[in-house]
Amino acid sequence: MWLFNRTLEVLLGKIPQKNNAALKNAVADLFKENIGEKIRKTSLPAAVSHQDLFQATLTELTNIIDSNRTQWPKWYESTINEWMGGLVMACRWKLHLLTWNTEESRENSFFLTHGLLFYIENQPPTHQRKLVEKLDKSNKEAIAMRVLRAMLPFLKTHTNLTFFQLIPSHGITLQKSLVNDYLSEQIPLYVYMFIDDCEGNFLKEIQSYLKHYVQKGLKNSFIPSYEEMAKDVVQDAIKIFIEKRSYYRQHPDEFYVDKRLVFYFIDLMRRYKLLSTYFKKHNKTDFIDEKMEDEILSNNINDNEYGGLSHENEEISIIVKGCFNTLEEKCQELLKTRYLLDFSQALSHQDIKSRTGVSVRTIERSMPKCEEILRTCIVYKASQQGLRLF
Amino acid sequence: MDTTQKKELIRKAQTGQLTEEEYTQYLELIDSDPDFFDEVRWAEFLGLHVKAIHDEVLYEASSKFSMPIESPIQKPFQRQYLSYAAAIVLLIVTGVVFWLNRNEKPEYTLLKKEQKEVFAEEQAPKEGLGYGESGFPIGEIPLQWLEVPSQASRLSYVFCNDTLKLYLKQQKEVDSLSSKIQLSYESLSRHYFLRLPNQPKVFLKPCLPNTETLMR
């Protein structure tokens, strides 16, 4: 039977790494019949066609195979076919995501939390390993659900990206690169809210981030002495959060975060009108009223919640793509390798060397240049169009 | 800490690889260095956009593929029955082929082949006016003499595809009869006739399924 169950290395190993089109064709040839069969067995919502689901599944599958080249000698054709039904269901979930509300999305996405649990148990952020060791299984499961919940708004606005990764022991889940930030926030947040009184560095990190965001907002609104004000206002926000903790600890279901933590705190500042309260307290109402506060926090900060990749920022995406395509091919390859290979982690120079054969010295010389050329191009074009990047 | 080290710190932070010591360094830089904070945001921004560019290419490539048309999927028991049916069909076909090519002893023996002259039959207009020419040769048709000892009559025929096959019970009569029979053709009715010694002319019925007796 081994003749009929070959490894991906045997099936795809001859395809050059850079030739995405050839890989795509080969993957389609190998798996399209099985994808089609699984789709025909799936009931589809009215808004999703067979063809849409087929293309989404093929794209995700190619991406999974491409991003796991190191696994090719270990992954058999049957490994992929075994999880094809799961991948089709995941893509169905993705295509239907925009029309679901958060509750429905959560209920229908339990399959993803198995993989998130794998990340929490096996690949937590290194500096949080000790925190994770304190957690029992139910805590970890609760965190996995909270990570997913926090990610849903991001996923809903980024359905143009590939989402999924295959972990054969745990099934289909979200790519680690998409999960990382949420994971590193939700683990200490959960511990702080429900388990351990020791706040550690977690609030310090949030405080620093918030301070920079608020400072930028105030600076862009031409508010004088903005640096000190920002520090004080952020301090007030953290204080309110700490005061609320005892209540939430009693009512855990009432506490949830549907976004990156820093934007949760910005929302909190807006809800409690902390900026205008601060100005009233210091008799500086000439500078700001409640309406302005909303503008400062919304327009100057929250628009860029998703790094300029939201649907509202298509102009920025076009600029970045245009600049990226003007880079030399060598630069494009280095950047793609740096940010994309395995998707679970942006690679170190040593990792890139081992995969591309380019020496560490060359990478160390070239990578900053490539990034600088790209950055200069993007910043220049964005400023020409009056766009702010982040 | 130089730029490269800072970038490495950011890379580790964004991929969850900071040690506790590095995390402390990272926090200090985030808090005190606005440029470092900008670098953090830039790396986040670039990572997401490079992924978006990569994924866009993948989606474009996928749009060229169509969902395959459904082909009947055979379950194991269906495959088993199908193989039985195929074996039976194969046996039947093999049998038919052998039967058609069986090496049977023929019931007849070809005695002679010849081209036989055909003469014009007398042709009189229906109204009885004028006259009709007859008796002159107008062409030839193939004639085959065959011996069939098992047949009851002395002579029989099959006339088909402009070929006349005459079946004799006894081989010895072939020469005498061959010189005496005469073929004729009537152009108005487009019929062939056969004349035998001391017998009336016989209309040759075309393509009969069995032989037709000429002489008892």
Structure confidence at residue A16 (pLDDT):
77
B86-112 pLDDT, tens digit per residue, is 889 999 998 888 887 765 555 788 898
Q: Write out the two tokens for A289.
A: 């009223």
Q: Best mutation site among B27, B51, B60, B75 for testing chain A: the one with the most A CBs within 10 Å?
A: B51
Nearest to B61 among A21, A36, A207 (CB): A21
Q: Which of A244, A236, A238 is nearest to A279 (CA)?
A: A236
Average pLDDT value over all residues in chain A:
84
B99: contact with A, CB 8 A cutoff: no
- CB-CB under 8 Å, A127 with B23: yes
Does B162 score more than 90 pLDDT? no
Q: What is the DSSP string of chain B?
A: --HHHHHHHHHHHHTT---HHHHHHHHHHHHH-HHHHHHHHHHHHHHHHHHHHHHHHHHHHHTT--PPPP-PPPPHHHHHHHHHHHHHHHHHHHHHHHHHT--PPPS-EEEEEEEEEEEEPP---TT--S----SSEEEEEEEEEEE-TT-SSSEEEEEETTEEEEEESSGGGHHHHHHH-EEEEETTTTEEEEE-TTS--EE--BT-SS-EEEE-
A29: contact with B, CB 8 A cutoff: no
- With tokens 């608020």, the residue in question is A214
Q: Write out the two tokens for B62.
A: 């996928």
Nearest to A40 among B46, B55, B70 (CB): B70
Closest CA of chain A from B45, distance in Å? 5
- CB-CB under 8 Å, A336 with B65: no
Structure confidence at residue A58 (pLDDT):
95
pLDDT, greater one: A157 or A301: A157
- CB-CB under 8 Å, A36 with B68: yes
Q: What is the DSSP string of A262-296?
A: HHHHHHHHHHTTHHHHHHHHTT-TTT--HHHHHHH
Find out whether A355 and A332 touch, Cβ atoms under 8 Å.
no
Structure confidence at residue B168 (pLDDT):
92
Comparing A10-24, A168-182, B157-171, B201-215, the range with the smallest average pLDDT is A10-24
B36-51 pLDDT, tens digit per residue, is 998 998 888 888 888 8
- CB-CB under 8 Å, A307 with B18: no
Q: Among residues 148-167 of chain B, which lie with CB inside 8 Å of chain A?
A: none
Nearest to A59 among B18, B49, B59 (CB): B59
Does A358 score more than 80 pLDDT? no
Backbone dihedral region of A296: left (phi > 0), alpha (psi from -120 to 50 degrees) or beta? alpha
A142: contact with B, CB 8 A cutoff: no
Q: Give A361: exposed, middle or buried? Use CB within 10 Å, 0-12, 13-18, 19+.
A: exposed
Closest CA of chain A from B16, distance in Å? 4
pLDDT, greater one: A285 or A259: A259
Dihedral sign of CA atoms A44, A45, A46, A47 in order: negative
- With tokens 């010895």, the residue in question is B172
Q: Among residues 5-34 of chain B, which lie with CB inside 8 Å of chain A?
A: 7-8, 11, 14-20, 22-24, 27, 30-31, 34
Does A330 score more than 60 pLDDT? yes
Closest CA of chain A from B90, distance in Å? 28
- With tokens 């042709």, the residue in question is B123
In chain A, residues with a C-beta closer than 8 Å to the C-beta of B5 are none
**What's the average model confidence in pLDDT over A221-236?**
84
- CB-CB under 8 Å, A161 with B47: no
A to B CB pairs, distance under 8 Å: 155
Average pLDDT value over all residues in chain B:
82
Domain boundaries along the sequence of chain B: 3-62, 74-104, 109-215
Highest mean pLDDT among A10-19, A136-145, A277-286, B205-214: A136-145
Structure confidence at residue B132 (pLDDT):
46
Structure confidence at residue A229 (pLDDT):
84
- CB-CB under 8 Å, B48 with A309: yes
Does B129 score more than 50 pLDDT? no
Structure confidence at residue B130 (pLDDT):
38
- CB-CB under 8 Å, B58 with A62: yes
Structure confidence at residue A87 (pLDDT):
94
Q: Could you tell me where in chain A the CATH 1.10.10 domains are found?
A: 311-384
Express as a percent the part of chain A with pLDDT over 90.
Answer: 34
Nearest to B67 among A51, A207, A335 (CB): A51
Fold of A311-384: Arc Repressor Mutant, subunit A (1.10.10)
A34 pLDDT band, cuts 50/70/90, is: very high
ipTM over 0.85: yes
Nearest to B18 among A50, A127, A215 (CB): A127
